[in-house]
Structure 1
Amino acid sequence: MSSTNMMATFRLKQDYIKLKQNPIPNILAEPNPADILEWFFVLIGPKDTPYEGGMYLGKLIFPSEFPFKPPSIYMITPTGRFETDTPLCLSVSDFHPETWNPAWTLSSVLIGLLSFLLESTVGSVDMSDEKRRKLVVESFKFNLNNSNFCQLFPELVQVAQDELDSREAHQVGHTASDLEEDDELEPYSPLIGVLPHICFVVGLLALPFMLKYVWK
């Protein structure tokens, strides 16, 4: 192992200890057990935001020169904010090495990323808040089918499944209520469809009597 790689490993282990001692609200992160330079993280949408409750999986790739060079940052779960599976252009990523500060830690990078997620002026995907809220539900489905999410964040797996079941049940209940309201507002009668035909037949039957009356 090179000296730079040893330094990166030592620093990331220290950052991991600090992260466990001082957890960041709405953020979880775990290293790849086979490669400490590769990390996976989950951003949990803060309350009172379009992302509220959503779970967004992402990945950090640290260079062997870390902390003197910044990591690459990728989003895996669609957020409606950033492109997925492509390096993000952020001041805390390797897209802008000139803005990188070696004093920044793993926690600094993740906090900065969450801030960028919530800012309305940053990001390459332009979506409405309503569409982002729909992606909250989709995030649960997406993550439950992702092996890294299930293996590294088992404490979130059941939470994601419960949230998915709850929101889908709420949606089904809401749809059923709408249908009931429509039925109340517009009651249906089977006579409505055949009424024109009845009128036509009655008119034909009455026609001879009308002609007889007119002839007289």
Structure 2
Amino acid sequence: MSRKSSSVQRAPTTATQRLKQDYLRLKKDPIPYVTAEPLPSNILEWHYLVLGPNDTPYFGGIYHGKLVFPREFPFRPPSIYMITPSGRFKCNTRLCLSISDFHPDTWNPAWSVGTILTGLLSFMVEDSATLGSIETSHYTKRQLALQSGPFNLKDSVFCELFPGVAKEIRASMNAQTTSQTTNANVKNEQQSNAANERERDNQSNLVNLVIVAGVALFALAVNSVIQSL
């Protein structure tokens, strides 16, 4: 048996039962802007998604991270990581929060996975500094939100645990590419039409010049004939 596949069996019964209960609770009563899935091979490692809430610079972003639970859960808190660049947290770095393993003294065993994710989201949309947080402008956060979908598709765990979200990201990217191609074709056609219009105008001006020159030469010829009589 592989090391990964045996990790579920090695997880203590208390931690396993509690995490299963928390999973069922999350499925029955979803948390706004947040979803989570444990690894099939290891129930002590969960991966979560945070959707950027409205009226925040994270709107439109899809932020992937993970929770690593100790074997003593729920009597000890998990480690919390953010994987997707957000402009708020360092990537793949343990975050120092009151609900993380940095503060076992403030941990409450009654807190569930849902409580942890709600606390993470609440801290994310604040400006409080802590170990693992960074300071960036709202513009940077908005740009990272736009780039979060394509970034997540490079992560095989993200695509495996959240196939529906990955599918939506790909569809959105394809639609954007199609729109950009259409806009480029329209722009090229407009530029081509404008160039043709300018060429027709130049040809028309040339014809007018030839006519004017012809009339002038005719007038000169008539004038010479009259003077010679």
Structure 1 81/162 Cα, relative in aligned 2: closer, same or farther at 3 Å?
A: same
State the partner residue of 1:96.
Answer: 103
Displacement, 1:137?
A: 1.6
Displacement, 1:53?
A: 1.5
Q: Distance in 2 between matches of 1:109 and 1:168?
A: 37
State the partner residue of 2:75.
Answer: 68
Residue 137 of structure 2 is aligned to residue 128 of structure 1: yes
Residue 28 of structure 2 is aligned to residue 21 of structure 1: yes
Structure 1 5/44 Cα, relative in aligned 2: closer, same or farther at 3 Å?
A: same
- What SS class does the counterpart of residue 22 from structure 2 fall into? helix
- What SS class does the counterpart of residue 139 from structure 2 fall into? helix
Q: TM-score, normalised to structure 2's length? A: 0.71
State the partner residue of 2:156.
Answer: 147
State the partner residue of 2:46.
Answer: 39
- What SS class does the counterpart of residue 78 from structure 1 fall into? coil
> Which residue identity is paired with 2:150?
K
- What SS class does the counterpart of residue 74 from structure 1 fall into? strand
Which structure 2 residues correspond to residues 1-216 of structure 1 after superposition, within 5 A?
5-123=12-130, 124-165=133-174
User: Is 1:137–1:164's contact at 8 Å kept on the other side of the alignment?
Assistant: no
Displacement, 1:161?
A: 2.3
Displacement, 1:169?
A: 7.3
Q: Deviations over 1:109-164 (max 9, x none)?
A: 00000111100123521100011000012111110111011000011012222344
> Which residue identity is paired with 1:69?
R
Displacement, 1:168?
A: 6.7
State the partner residue of 1:193.
Answer: none
Q: Deviations over 1:76-130 (max 9, x none)?
A: 1111101111110111000111111111000000000011110012352110001
Please report the RMSD computed on the Cα atoms of aligned residues, expressed in angstroms: 2.4
Structure 1 168/116 Cα, relative in aligned 2: closer, same or farther at 3 Å?
A: farther
Q: Distance in 2 between matches of 1:13 and 1:89?
A: 25
Percent identity at matched positions? 51
Displacement, 1:171?
A: 8.2
Q: TM-score, normalised to structure 1's length? A: 0.75
> Which residue identity is paired with 1:134?
Q
Which runs of 5 or more residues in structure 1 are unaligned?
181-216
Q: Distance in 2 between matches of 1:168 and 1:90?
A: 39
Asked which structure has the greater CA Rg, the reply is: 2
Q: Distance in 2 between matches of 1:170 and 1:136?
A: 20
Q: How many residues align?
A: 176
Q: Distance in 1 between matches of 2:139 and 2:123?
A: 19
**Greater CA drift, 164-173 or 97-106:** 164-173
> Which residue identity is paired with 2:85?
P
